[in-house]
Structure formats: C-alpha cells, structure tokens
C-alpha cells in the first residue's frame, strides 16, 4: 500500500481496545508524530486512528511487510491497565481461531504495544450505519460466520465478553473477523476483571454481565442475539438510556419480539435470536454450535432425531446374561469405561424383570467401599425379611433362603474397586449360594467370583459402522465417518454413540432427504473433528486431573509424539527420572508399555487420551514439545532410521516464517508419498502458522493440489481461488499462473 492509498483509509475510531483495522471511510489527516520511532523492529509511520485508551499507527518492517501497531496512550504505572491492554496480544497468540485477527507480536518495551495485521474493510456497525437493516439471506450468512467463530473461540477456552457490531469486522473478501479481545477471559480464569466489575458495551451485555455477576460463555450468546436482532430489524430489542433501564426492560419482558417487527422472518432464525436473548442463561442454547445448528436447520431440530443404538458386537455378553438367568449361575462381564458395560448391566436387569426375578444390586468403589458393599447387601436383604442380617453367616443363610424361594438376581458393580480383601469376602458368600443368578460387572478380573467370563471387546470397523447406522436410523454410515470414529474411539461403543450425538448436536452431522430405501440420508461436515470432546473429558478427564504435574507433563509429551515412543526419549524431553513418572502413569491406566527389540516404548492406553490432551494444550506448548522431541530423537544412536519422525517434529516445532516453510515441505513430501490425508492436515497447520502472503499463496496452491488428488473438488477449488488471489496481491505472476492452471483442471471435472 503506497502513501496515496494510505491517506484514504483509517482505523475505525469507534474501537477502544479494538484490533487495528482498515476502514473504507475517508481518513483524517495525521496530526502528530508517534511517541516512539519503532517497536520490536516495526518502524512507525502515520497515525491511523485513536480509540479510548490507545492509538493505532501504520508500521513497516525491514522486509517490507506492513502492519498496524496499537500503542497504549499515556501509559501509567498502573500494572492492571497495562495487563488489560496487552491481554489481546496474549490471547491472539495463544488461540487458533480462523475468525480472529493475527497478532504479529506484543510487549511493553519501549511502550506497551500490540502488532496486528491490517484488515481491509469496515466494521459491522459502519455497514449498518450505511445500509440499515439487512436482508434475511445476508443475516443468515453473518449469523453462520459469527456463530462458527464464537464456537471455535469457546472451544479454545476463551470468552469474548464484548461482542457487538463495532467488534465485528467485515473484510472486503466477504469474511468476518471477531476483533477486540481486550476484555476476554480464558478457561484458566485469567482475565483483568473480577467479580463485581461491569465491562463491555452495555446495550449488548447479558443481564448477568450488567449485574457484575460471574459469567460463562453464554454471555457471548446473548450479545450475539442482540447483534443479530439489530442487524435484521435495524433496531435494538429494548430502548433504554441506562444499563439499569435495559436490565429492567429485559427482566420485565418489555423486549419487542423480533417477529413483531418482522412477521415474515423465517421461524428458525426468529426462534434462534429469541433463544439467544433469554434472560436466564439456562434458557439460551448450550453452545454456539447448538445455536448454529438451530439457525441453519441442520441439527436435531429438523425433526429427525437420532435413535437408541442397537447392541452391536455384544452377542457373547447377551448370551452370558441369558445363561445366568436360565441356569442360576454367575457371569462376570469385563470392560472399562466406554465399553458399554453399564448398558449390559441395564440389559441384565430388564431381562430379569421380564422373567419375574427379584433383584438385589450393590456397588463397589470409594473409601471403605468394601464394608459398604456388605452393608448394602444386608439392607437389600432386609427388604425381603423382617430384620437386617448382622454377620457373614447370616448374610449367607438369608441369601440362600431367598434364592431357594424364587428367582433372584444379584447384580454386583465394580467389586474390583472395593479392594481385594473385600471382593474376596463378598465372593466367598456369593459362590456358596446355590440357585442364585449373579451378574458381575468390573473393569479388572480378580478371579474371586466363580463363573463364566465375557470380555467386552472393542468393536471391529464393520461393527462400528453398523452401530452408527443404527444410531442414525439409516441404511448406512456416512462416508468416512466409520473409519474416523474407529481411530479416535478405539472401537469403544460408548464413545462411538457419544461422538455421533455430539456431531448431530453441533450441526456437523445432519439429516437431509432419504435414500433409495426410504431411510434418512445423513451428511457429514468432513472438516469437523469427530472426537467426542464432552465424552472424552468425562471418561478420562478425572484420571488426568489426578496426575502429579510431572506425570502429566510426561503424558503430554506422549500425546504430542503421536505414537508409542522410546521411554528414554520421553524422559529426556520431560527431564524426569523413570521411577518418578512411569509407575504413576501405568497405575493410572492412562499409559501402556510396549516391548520392542530396541527397548521399551510408552504410549497412551487409548487414542482418546491423546486427543483430549492435545485439545487442552496451548499452541506454544505444543510447539515446545515438538521441538523437544525432535532434539531428543536426533540424539539417539539410531537417529538415521528415525529421520521421518525427526522431520515431522522439527516442522511442527518451528516458529515464525520458518514454521510455514517446514510444514509446506513436509506436506509436499507426504503428498508425493501418497499420504494425502496427513498431507492435508499438515498443510492446514502451515496456514495456521501465520505465513507471509507469498508463503500463504504457495501453501494454498499445495492444498488445492492435495484436495484434487483426494477428489475433494469443492475444497480444491476454494484453495486454488485463494492461492490465485494471494499470488496476484503479492505480484507473483508465476504462482498466479500455476494456480490458474490447476484451477482450470478442477473446473473442467
């Protein structure tokens, strides 16, 4: 951009903490010089605009790259003010969300500053000032973009807390950016406000935010509802002169319904806007992804609900239950969390009730659970007797008496968690009672109970697809979903069914039309992660949280490694002794040792553990661990054979422009070797590495060629269009021509 062009753009003056953005409005001529000549290698030029606490200056680096530098105006010794100002840089550097502006650096020397990319276009507020209320089709596009960005932000653990039209930027290429993270808070509780602080733009703030109460991600949903209301009607939902008046109007139901202003508004859009603005946070959609599914009509709200999955791959367990009831014997069902063991227990109870059995149920687990199991058995027996058995002999006698009187089923859950001695005491009683049907469910088998044993094995890939089909009530599994679920769930049916539910809830899996058999046809958004985030956290989160910090660091290294890795290499990265971390991880059941000719390797016991940890790791931490693994592997005597892994970790452990180059080289190498899925993932990571414009054009060109080989035509077309536009912008005729040639090939298909 030359000086003549610069004089016709300015930073939106409506922003106080906002990102540096280029507006299409005429600029005011700069009237002062910057307080410092340069910051962090960026030479400051003309002032672009002034906000409430900051000024924004044009800047240029020695390599010619241009940016906008935001400076804290009149910085005071107040540390809180400086931290609040730098908050935006901290969060933008930590999270990976496509709809946020890129932070190129931040710091406090020589003056508090944040370096940001230049965004060409205008804020949504400026567009609304010029155009007024928007047509429904445009509002739906904005709603989809905003809810998608907000969902990604929330999944990264960040609450924006100041979403409003002035903080939504419309770029000239039609994309949206959510700007100004100065008031944001992350999931570690890190923020610059405390309970009782009221910060934000009050016309768009949720009631709990106006009151200064504790808020969660749903305050952003309220702000989105008000923004969409204003965008489609041209008015705010309530007319108020003060925050208190607004609060009372919302509380008393004096908000004008959106359908009163626009009776012909599509029902799904009107319903979503009203739900987003619910007074009670519990009345709003649970997540931005839920709201997105509602507004697009892709989720369960379209009337096609998912059903209860059939019992797939559990014939042996079902046969064992029937044998226990028919022959009055003991069957021990063995399986961990996610194996479907709870459903098998429920099936045993249901079948027993159908056959007229009386049922007694007891459970182990927790402190003194062994004593409580025997106590629970005593009190359960008291339901049938006029007294509570007080001794082991009485327990045995009364249980024998009841089993002789009629069919009786004893269900014992998790006896392995009660301690070996307690389990042995209970088993001694049960094993000696004739004509008693017993179903034991446990994760580990101590062999205390005599009877038939059935392991609830992982499902095969074919069984996984059958389970998905039954859950969706369709004749088949959406293409690619079965293998993807098999990889991330390891064939555990509980995780598979939870993953399907979460995909439907967030709109990534939706029903549309019917197939040739008249059954529902389901479609999968292939860009969405199929890992069941909520269920993974519920399944493994507690065990991970209990780990000592050293063991957790070791587990993080294993997760980043992506496969079972030499114990010595892992210990080298984490800097701990084997005795400190390995036994802890083994005892927790989160990791497993593999014996190999070259030594022992340590990996996660379930792929979901690695997925959960990787979601929780900040980008900077992942980069650090990749670099550490590359270094540790390169020091191995057999490093020459480990070169592919070393290259992988070096590429993912690089920073700055070098990161994009290394990832691009790795991606192209993978494409040449036919590993197209992994290539696509690596090239996506290269885009997230904030490459320079010409690098970005080259990466998008590589993505287009990769998608073309994968027969993903739409994604190939989008990537190649982006490559051509970027190449044109940086004046690279050769790159532009290459992109045009490949684009022509895609369009000809």
**CATH number, domain with residue 571:** 1.10.10.10
Mean pLDDT in residue range 73-92: 77
Among 602, 644, 599, 649, which Cα is nearest to 629's? 649
Residue 551 forms part of a structural domain:
yes
Residue 732 forms part of a structural domain:
yes
Residue 724 forms part of a structural domain:
yes
645 and 538, same structural domain? yes
Whole-number Å distance between alpha carbons of 406 and 264: 66
Name, in order, each residue with C-beta under 8 angstroms of 587's C-beta and a sequence gap of 6 or more.
none
Maximum mean pLDDT: which of 124-133, 260-269, 470-479: 124-133
Q: Which residue stretches of 617-691 are H helix?
A: 619-634, 643-652, 657-672, 676-688
367-390 confidence digits (pLDDT tens)? 444 457 788 888 888 888 878 888
Question: Is 578 exposed, middle or buried (CB count within 10 Å of its CB: 0-12, 13-18, 19+)?
Answer: middle
Q: Are 76 and 157 in contact (CB under 8 A)?
A: no
Whole-number Å distance between alpha carbons of 6 and 2: 6
What does 102-114 look like in DSSP terms, one character per residue?
PEEEEE-SSS-EE
| pLDDT the model gives residue 87 | 80
Give me the percent of the chain exceeding a pLDDT of 70: 89
Q: How far is CA 714 from CA 289, 703, 710, 717, in A?
A: 23, 12, 11, 5
Q: 521 forms bridges with which residues in the sheet?
A: none
Residue 331 forms part of a structural domain:
yes
Structural domain ending residue among the three candidates 66, 85, 118 = 118
| pLDDT the model gives residue 677 | 83
Q: What are phi and psi of 388, to 5 degrees?
A: -105, 120
Question: Residue 97 in 3-state DSSP?
Answer: coil
362 and 224, same structural domain? no
Q: Residues 169-174: contacts with CB within 8 Å, 24+ apart?
A: 169/19, 169/21, 169/101, 169/119, 169/121, 169/122, 169/123, 169/124, 170/121, 170/122, 170/123, 170/124, 170/127, 171/119, 171/120, 171/121, 172/24, 172/120, 172/121, 173/725
| pLDDT the model gives residue 384 | 85
Q: Are 415 and 426 in contact (CB under 8 A)?
A: yes
Q: With residue 190 as reference, give the H or E element that holds it.
A: none
Whole-number Å distance between alpha carbons of 430 and 398: 11
560 and 676, same structural domain? no
Residue 25 has pLDDT above 80, yes or no: no
| pLDDT the model gives residue 444 | 84
636-691 confidence digits (pLDDT tens)? 988 888 899 999 999 999 987 789 999 999 999 998 888 888 898 899 889 888 88
- Residue 697's pLDDT band, with cuts at 50, 70 and 90, is very high
Distance of CA 360 to the CA centre of its chain: 41
Among 397, 323, 410, which Cα is nearest to 361's? 410
501 and 553, same structural domain? no
Whole-number Å distance between alpha carbons of 624 and 618: 10
Degrees, nearest 5: CA angle 436-437-443: 125
330-339, 429-438, 531-540: lowest mean pLDDT where? 531-540
26-59 confidence digits (pLDDT tens)? 444 444 788 888 998 999 988 877 766 778 888 9
| pLDDT the model gives residue 306 | 67
Question: Is 264 exposed, middle or buried (CB count within 10 Å of its CB: 0-12, 13-18, 19+)?
Answer: exposed
| pLDDT the model gives residue 368 | 43
Residue 246 forms part of a structural domain:
yes
Maximal C-alpha separation, the chain? 99
Name, in order, each residue with C-beta under 8 angstroms of 676's C-beta and a sequence gap of 6 or more.
670, 706, 709, 710
Residue 432 has pLDDT above 90, yes or no: yes
Mean pLDDT in residue range 428-443: 93
Q: Which residue stretches of 252-305 are H helix?
A: 258-261, 267-276, 288-296
Mean pLDDT in residue range 253-259: 85
319 and 284, same structural domain? no
Q: Are 543 and 595 in contact (CB under 8 A)?
A: no
Question: Residue 43 in 3-state DSSP?
Answer: strand
Whole-number Å distance between alpha carbons of 515 and 524: 15
Cis peptide bond N-terminal to 110, omega within 30: yes
Among 683, 689, 676, which Cα is nearest to 720's? 683
Residues written for the chain: 749
Question: What's the pTM value of the predicted model, to 2 decimals?
Answer: 0.51
Other residues' Cβ atoms within 10 Å of the Cβ of residue 196: 9
108 and 29, same structural domain? yes
Q: Are 73 and 53 in contact (CB under 8 A)?
A: yes
Q: What are phi and psi of 453, to 5 degrees?
A: -120, 140
- Residue 24's pLDDT band, with cuts at 50, 70 and 90, is very low
Q: What is the CATH number of the domain that holds 710?
A: 1.25.40.10
Q: Are 500 and 346 in contact (CB under 8 A)?
A: no
| pLDDT the model gives residue 195 | 34
Looking only at the bridges linking them, the beta strands covering 330-334 and 437-442 are parallel
Mean pLDDT in residue range 289-317: 71
529-554 confidence digits (pLDDT tens)? 787 877 777 778 888 988 999 999 99
Residue 449 has pLDDT above 60, yes or no: yes
Question: Domain residues for 717?
Answer: 655-749
Structural domain ending residue among the three candidates 621, 653, 685 = 653
Whole-number Å distance between alpha carbons of 666 and 696: 15
Q: With residue 206 as reference, give the H or E element that holds it.
A: none
403-428 confidence digits (pLDDT tens)? 999 999 999 998 887 777 788 888 99
Q: What is the CATH number of the domain that holds 128?
A: 1.10.510.10
- Residue 366's pLDDT band, with cuts at 50, 70 and 90, is low
Structure-token pair, residue 270: 């009107």
- Structure-token match 């949720």, residue found: 206
| pLDDT the model gives residue 183 | 74
- DSSP letter, residue 26: P
Q: How far is CA 606 from CA 122, 402, 555, 714, in A?
A: 47, 43, 12, 34
Q: What is the CATH number of the domain that holds 24?
A: 3.30.200.20
Structure-token pair, residue 554: 């070791």
368 and 477, same structural domain? no
555-573 confidence digits (pLDDT tens)? 999 999 999 999 999 999 9
Higher pLDDT, 23 or 481: 481
Average predicted confidence (pLDDT) for the chain = 84
Residue 171 forms part of a structural domain:
yes
User: What sign does the CA torsion over 67, 73, 76, 79 have?
Assistant: negative
Higher pLDDT, 503 or 632: 632
Whole-number Å distance between alpha carbons of 218 and 216: 5
Distance of CA 563 to the CA centre of its chain: 21
Higher pLDDT, 78 or 283: 283
Residue 303 forms part of a structural domain:
no
426 and 325, same structural domain? yes
Q: Residues 237-242: contacts with CB within 8 Å, 24+ apart?
A: 237/277, 240/203
Structure-token pair, residue 282: 């519990």
139-159 confidence digits (pLDDT tens)? 999 999 999 999 989 888 889
Q: Are 85 and 53 in contact (CB under 8 A)?
A: yes
Number of domains into which the chain is organized: 6
3-state SS, one letter per residue, for 494-535: HHHHHHHHHHHHCCCEEEEEECCCCCEEEEECCCCCCCCHHH
Q: How far is CA 720 from CA 159, 283, 669, 738, 748, in A?
A: 34, 43, 19, 9, 14
Give me the percent of the chain exceeding a pLDDT of 90: 36
Q: With residue 615 as reference, give the H or E element that holds it.
A: helix 607-616
34 and 135, same structural domain? no
358 and 474, same structural domain? no
| pLDDT the model gives residue 518 | 58
Starting at the earlier edge strand, list the strands of the sheet with 565-566.
565-566, 599-604, 591-596
- DSSP letter, residue 10: B
Whole-number Å distance between alpha carbons of 179 and 173: 17
Q: Which residue stretches of 300-412 are H helix?
A: 315-327, 341-354, 369-382, 392-405
573 and 523, same structural domain? no
182-225 confidence digits (pLDDT tens)? 777 665 444 444 333 444 578 899 998 888 877 889 999 999 99
Residue 302 forms part of a structural domain:
no
| pLDDT the model gives residue 263 | 85
Degrees, nearest 5: CA angle 83-84-86: 65
547 and 440, same structural domain? no
Q: Are 468 and 500 in contact (CB under 8 A)?
A: yes
Structural domain ending residue among the three candidates 531, 547, 580 = 531
């Amino acid at each position: 951009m030359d000086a003549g062009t610069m004089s016709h753009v300015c930073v939106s003056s409506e922003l106080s903490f906002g990102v540096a953005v280029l507006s299409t409005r005429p600029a005011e001529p700069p009237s002062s010089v910057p307080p410092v000549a340069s910051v962090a290698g960026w030479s400051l030029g003309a002032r672009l605009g002034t906000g409430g606490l900051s000024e924004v200056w044009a800047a240029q680096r020695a390599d010619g790259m241009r940016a906008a530098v935001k400076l804290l105006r009149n910085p005071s010794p107040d540390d809180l003010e400086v931290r609040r100002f730098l908050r935006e840089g901290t969060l933008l550097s930590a999270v990976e969300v496509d709809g946020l502006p890129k932070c190129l650096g931040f710091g406090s020397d020589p003056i508090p500053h944040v370096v940001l990319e230049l965004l060409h276009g205008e804020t949504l507020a400026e567009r609304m000032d010029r155009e007024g209320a928007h047509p429904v089709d445009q509002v739906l596009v904005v709603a989809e973009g905003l809810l998608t960005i907000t969902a990604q932000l929330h999944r990264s653990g960040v609450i924006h807390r100041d979403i409003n039209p002035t903080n939504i930027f419309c770029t000239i290429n039609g994309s949206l950016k959510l700007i100004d993270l100065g008031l944001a808070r992350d999931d570690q509780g890190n923020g610059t406000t405390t309970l009782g602080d009221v910060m934000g733009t009050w016309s768009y703030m949720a009631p709990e935010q106006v009151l200064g109460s504790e808020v969660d991600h749903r305050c952003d949903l309220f702000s989105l509802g008000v923004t969409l209301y204003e965008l489609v009607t041209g008015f705010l939902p309530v007319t108020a002169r003060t925050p208190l008046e607004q609060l009372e109007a919302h509380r008393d139901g004096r908000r004008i319904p959106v359908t009163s202003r626009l009776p012909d508004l599509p029902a799904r859009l009107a319903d979503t806007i009203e739900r987003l603005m619910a007074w009670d946070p519990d009345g709003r959609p649970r997540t931005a992804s839920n709201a997105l599914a509602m507004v697009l009509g892709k989720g369960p709200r379209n009337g096609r609900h998912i059903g209860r999955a059939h019992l797939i791959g559990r014939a042996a367990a079902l046969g064992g239950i029937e044998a226990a009831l028919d022959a009055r014997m003991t069957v021990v069902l063995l399986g961990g969390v996610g194996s479907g063991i709870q459903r098998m227990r429920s099936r045993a109870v249901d079948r027993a009730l159908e056959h007229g059995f009386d049922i007694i149920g007891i459970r182990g687990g927790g402190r003194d659970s062994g004593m409580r199991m025997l106590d629970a058995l005593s009190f359960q027996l008291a339901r049938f007797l006029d007294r509570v058995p007080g001794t082991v002999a009485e327990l045995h006698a009364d249980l024998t008496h009841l089993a002789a009187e009629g069919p009786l089923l004893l269900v014992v859950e998790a006896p392995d968690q009660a301690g070996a001695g307690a389990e042995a005491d209970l088993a001694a009683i049960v094993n000696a009672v004739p004509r008693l049907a017993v179903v034991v469910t446990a994760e580990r088998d101590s062999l205390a109970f005599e009877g038939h044993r059935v392991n609830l094995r992982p499902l095969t890939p074919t069984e996984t697809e059958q389970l998905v089909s039954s859950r969706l009530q369709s004749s088949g599994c959406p293409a690619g979903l079965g293998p993807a679920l098999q990889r991330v769930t390891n064939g555990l049916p509980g995780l598979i069914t939870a993953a399907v539910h979460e995909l439907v809830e967030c709109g990534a899996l939706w029903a549309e039309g019917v197939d040739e058999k008249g059954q529902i046809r389901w479609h999968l958004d292939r860009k969405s992660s199929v890992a069941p985030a909520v269920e993974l956290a519920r399944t493994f989160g507690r065990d991970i949280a209990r780990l000592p910090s050293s063991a957790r660091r070791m587990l993080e290294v294993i997760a980043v490694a992506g496969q079972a890795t030499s114990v010595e290499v892992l210990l080298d990265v984490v800097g701990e002794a084997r005795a400190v971390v390995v036994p802890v991880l083994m005892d927790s059941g989160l990791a497993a040792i593999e014996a190999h000719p070259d030594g022992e390797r340590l990996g996660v016991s379930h792929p979901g553990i690695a997925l959960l940890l990787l979601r929780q790791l900040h980008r900077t931490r992942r980069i650090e661990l990749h670099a550490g693994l590359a270094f540790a592997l390169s020091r191995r005597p057999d490093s020459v054979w480990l070169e592919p892994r070393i290259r992988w970790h070096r590429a993912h452990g690089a920073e700055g422009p070098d990161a994009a180059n290394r990832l691009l080289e790795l991606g192209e190498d993978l494409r040449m070797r036919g590993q197209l899925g992994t290539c696509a993932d690596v090239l996506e990571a290269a885009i997230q590495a904030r490459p320079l414009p010409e690098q970005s054009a080259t990466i998008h060109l590589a993505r287009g060629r990769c998608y073309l080989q994968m027969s993903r035509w739409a994604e190939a077309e989008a990537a190649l269009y982006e490559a051509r536009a970027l190449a044109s912008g940086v004046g690279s005729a050769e790159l532009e021509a290459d992109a045009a040639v490949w684009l022509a090939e895609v369009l000809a298909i």
